[in-house]
Structure 1
């Protein structure tokens, strides 16, 4: 795919995202409304989209284990690299390290990858197995470390903290909808057409609403380029450049992934840091300012680099 074709494919993404930024900057729509739009997308529209598509998918083709194994290996290596770099920088507190691992390795699936994949490929199906791996493995590890580091009233015992961590990872609407779709698919349970049509109708709104919400959020907070710290630059560079290259090398060279799946995995790795990073930072009172900055700036950098990644990998 050439550069012009990639940019053309990206135009709907830029339009929805840019409209949010513009309307928030001009105060036509209050930036605070981004939470309402984001909650609608994350809690309702995206789960509807995921459920309907997973239920109707060919799971044997969807879960390409060589490809998913390659991505998992690349993510594990990336975790080690970020943790080692944090230690070399003098960051020893486990929660601080976990936050930086999440910033450098986790990807924004629901708000960014899903709409981008729908725009580029007409489907977000390749994201589903990576999304489950990310939530059920990577997020579980990060949340567990955060919970174990909590102190003070209500913190609870180690067992209670781990129970909260597992619960927080597995009961989000996105994960529940994916698991429900997989289970009903495997059991060949008949879901009424009216339910699937309703889920498809709502799910079609997930892509533009999620991007619009992200644009409102960015437009409200602003983008302080001059105030970017060296650590922020390092994390953003790793997330938007190093991790995709690592995924390309590990999946393509070591695991022999070729064709469309290699393109999918590299593009997924190139997605920005998820907004959940900022939510976790606020909840556990660690690195709040760093998290907000990395989420916003990695979103902008990722958006700018997507045509390059698509042209390079797919070409």
Structure 2
């Protein structure tokens, strides 16, 4: 049954991605269509979606202990890449930072939201991961890139970074409303305000998937032969090692079973988040490395999620 749900979920996701790819091939919407969909979903519909989902969730459900599994599995994989880089790849500090982010950063938005919605049945499951990454991993990663590329730390930019993350703002707003609802005993937002927010949010997943499909048009991965060992290592760490670590932590440390265990491992197998490429572009380091790592991870992730569904679903 788990495999059937996973395959049905991937079918839904795959069809929408294919529509985006075909639209790009036919040049429907023009050359800026992907950028428009990405920007609108990032700044408007996805924050609305996270707000709508989280504001209706119980506060204890949002801060489920599974966040510990997500944090430590990501941390251990990031450390593993740094060790492997020191032993084999010898990337410079900036490129090593990008490689570390490629290894541990989950695509909790573009792929995570659809998978949580259509395969796990609850989009709120990605919320703790999203908040953890935007509030913790992103500032740390940007600090490292500041130091390795500029030679100094821009504390102002680091402090201001969460303010530039609409998903984090929408998520925190939803969490605040959820906490307020728990205190009041009733939902404080009237329907005529909540319903349009929810309606806009429902457009997020299809726009995200179609934009991703558009991005695949014309992509030629692995042009740089020298980066290939590190890129394949990143994909293996992200799609194979992290789910294994998540399973071990969830099963033996946290004592999760059933749907809790399944969700932890599936979410750990999400591909690398596209934010990593944005960070690489901002500092102009490791651009090809970041792009190819994300693409290979995204292409192989469904295989391993399907395997997890067979074993645990």
Q: Could you say whether these structures have the same fold, taking a TM-score greater than 0.5 normalized by the shorter chain as the test?
A: yes
Q: Secondary structure at the match of 1:220?
A: coil
Gaps of 5+ in 1: none
Deviation (angstroms), 1:215: 0.7
Assess, with a 3 A threshold, how the Cα gap between structure 1 residues 178 and 261 changes in structure 2: closer, same or farther: same
Is the contact made by 1:136 and 1:170 (CA closer than 8 Å) also made in structure 2?
no
How far 1:259 moved relative to its partner?
A: 2.1
Identify the residue that residue 193 of structure 1 maps to in structure 2. 191
Query: Match of 1:10?
Result: 10
- Counterparts of 1:286-297 in structure 2 under 5 Å? 286-297=285-296
Alpha-carbon distance, 1:198 to partner: 0.7
Residues 239 and 36 of structure 1, relative CA distance in 2, 3 Å threshold: same
Q: Which residue of 1 aligns with 2:208?
A: 210
**1:168 aligned to which of 161, 170, 184:** 161
The aligned counterpart of 2:77 is 78
Q: 1:94 to 1:224 in 2, by over 3 A?
A: closer
Correspondence for 1:36: 36
**Aligned match of 1:236:** 235
Q: Note if contact 2:112-2:270 (Cα within 8 Å) is conserved in structure 1.
A: yes
Asked if residue 58 in structure 1 is aligned to residue 58 in structure 2, the reply is yes
Q: Indicate conservation of the 8 Å contact 2:281/2:287, yes or no.
A: yes
Number of residue pairs the alignment of both structures matches = 307
- Equivalent residues of 2:9, 2:115 under 8 A apart: no
Q: Would you say the 8 A contact 2:5–2:119 is kept in 1? A: no
Check the 8 A contact 1:99/1:277 in 2, yes or no: yes
Q: TM-score, normalised by structure 1?
A: 0.90
Give the drift of 1:61. Answer: 2.3
- The DSSP-based 3-state class of the residue aligned with 2:255 is coil
Where does 1:1-315 land on structure 2 (aligned, <5 Å)?
A: 1-30=1-30, 32-65=32-65, 67-91=66-90, 93-151=92-150, 158=153, 161-188=154-181, 190-223=188-221, 229-314=228-313
Please report how far the alpha carbon of residue 248 of structure 1 lies from its aligned counterpart in structure 2 after TM superposition: 1.0
Q: TM-score, normalised by structure 2?
A: 0.90
CA distance in 2, matches of 1:86, 1:45: 38
Spell out, residue by residue over 1:216-248, the C-alpha distance to the aligned partner (whole angstroms, 9 max, x if none): 011232456996822211111111111111111
Cα offset, 1:111, TM superposition: 0.8
How far does residue 94 in structure 1 lie from its aligned partner after superposition?
Answer: 2.9
Q: Is the 8 A contact 2:94 2:149 kept in 1?
A: no
Matches of 1:285 and 1:223, distance apart in 2: 18
CA separation in 2, counterparts of 1:261 and 1:31?
Answer: 42
TM-fit CA distance, 1:93: 3.5
**Conserved 8 A contact 1:170-1:176:** yes
Distance 1:150 1:162 in 2: 15
Deviation at 1:106, TM superposition (A): 0.5
Q: Retained in 2: the 8 A contact 1:32–1:217?
A: no
Determine if contact 1:115/1:206 at 8 Å carries over to the other structure.
Answer: no
Q: Take 1:52 and 1:5, find their aligned partners in 2: how far apart are those partners?
A: 24
Q: Contact 1:20–1:219 at 8 Å: present in 2 too?
A: no
Deviation at 1:149, TM superposition (A): 2.7
Deviation at 1:30, TM superposition (A): 4.5
Counterpart of 2:111 in 1: which secondary structure? helix
C-alpha root-mean-square deviation of aligned residues, in Å?
A: 2.2
